[in-house]
Amino acid sequence: MTVRFQRLIIILLSLIFTAGAVILIMINSKENLVFFFTPTELINSHHNINSQVRIGGFVKNNSLKRNTKNNLYSFVITDNLNDIEVEYKGILPDLFKEGQGAVTEGILADKKKILASKVFAKHDENYMPSSIKKQLKKSDYWKKDYSSSGILGKNLPNFEIINLFDDSKKLSNVDINNKQVLINFFASWCAPCKDELPLFFTLKNNYPNMMIVGIDYKDKKSDALKFLEKEGNPYNFVGLDNNGNIGLEFGVFGLPETFLLNNENKIIYQHLGPLTKKVIQNEISPLLQ
């Protein structure tokens, strides 16, 4: 065996070792990711039981209880659409109170319960880990009004979104001026989104002059493409909001969520949860006459 061949063998083994180390690091990093959800997103997700999760919402009124024997607190985090029960053993932040925003991190005990190891309250940002603090600051999380009536009657928020199918195409709030528009936030992982999708085809046929915009929220582009390819695409435009920032501008706190705009660019209707034939007939259609 020549010296040159030995060197090649050593280099090859080094490359294999390095590649293996990188793969192990990537796998370990993926396993240790802490995903951020609203209660509705968590319930609709396929997250594994006993995995680490982080949820944000509001502490439901009259839900806070304390077991004085073991200092165990229980409370409910809500997004006004769904609730998550939280158990936490320790001392709650001084600013923690019912009716205020909170972020909890812990183990997913079941689809609607978290065993929390960390609890952060509104105005408690200085004590949060940088990963949480950065996300909340970027999205203005505490500054939004997430009640169902918070955005009604207001002008369409400023936004610009890239087309799911063609990165060179964009849609902004300016592009839909003077139009009647229905905006639907959905995701491939959202089961109720799949259930309501056929109703958008009906709306499209019954109201051909109305623009229907789909916004794929906190989703993978590849998964969204497969979802629409399989289920069909009723939207006139589909935008990709994978970081959820546009959803936050609208005050979206769970999926699916739908907004109706009049031709003056004002939001005249908001629906939390999947549309139904009854909702369309009694609530949406009268606004489209």
pLDDT tens digits, one per residue of 133-155: 555 555 555 455 444 446 778 89
Q: 125-160: buried (b, 16+ CB within 10 Å) or exposed (e) per residue? A: eeebeeebbebbeebebeebebeeeebeeeebeebe
pLDDT tens digits, one per residue of 69-110: 888 999 999 877 789 999 998 888 877 888 878 888 899 998
Domain ranges of the chain: 35-143, 160-288
pLDDT tens digits, one per residue of 154-198: 899 999 999 999 999 999 999 998 899 999 999 998 888 999 999
Q: How far apart are CA 57 and CA 63, in angstroms?
A: 14
For residue 169, what pLDDT is reported?
96
Superfamily name and number for 160-288 = Glutaredoxin (3.40.30.10)
Per-residue pLDDT averaged across 246-257, rounded?
83
- The answer to whether the CB of 45 falls within 8 A of the CB of 189 is yes
pLDDT at residue 27 tops 50:
no
Tell me what percent of the residues of the chain surpass a pLDDT of 70. 78
Q: Which CATH class is domain 35-143?
A: mainly beta
Tell me what percent of the residues of the chain surpass a pLDDT of 90. 43
Q: How far apart are CA 230 and CA 224, in angstroms?
A: 10
pLDDT at residue 118 tops 70:
yes
